[in-house]
Amino acid sequence: SAVISQKPSRDICQRGTSLTIQCQVDSQVTMMFWYRQQPGQSLTLIATANQGSEATYESGFVIDKFPISRPNLTFSTLTVSNMSPEDSSIYLCSVRTGTDTQYFGPGTRLTVL
């Protein structure tokens, strides 16, 4: 299994600002993902964070809006840039270990005013 922590756990931000969310895993993992979960809805994959190279974004998500870093096999950051109220969501970090099992962090609850 993998233990995942995220910082911050929640934040309230002003429109037009940016927030960087950190994800730390207790072991080296090959695959890390970032998801968004809007209130009362399911999870939507934003991107796959690739170690040492640019993240792979899903349709509807772009690097300028959601820049991602992954400097090593245990850490990644997601930045939500130039925020608007529509960005209010829970942002979840997820990892896949050697098996197909996927683990999730506790999430970062973001409110944009």
- Torsion sign across C-alpha atoms 27, 31, 37, 43: negative
Nearer to another protein, 48 or 69 (CB): 48
Q: Which of 24, 90, 82, 31 is nearest to 56 (CA)?
A: 31
Nearer to another protein, 1 or 14 (CB): 1
For residue 16, the minimal CB distance to another protein (Å) is: 28
Q: Are 59 and 105 in contact (CB under 8 A)?
A: no
Which positions from 74 to 113 touch another protein by CB under 8 A, shown as an x/- string? ------------------x-x-x---xxxxxxxx------
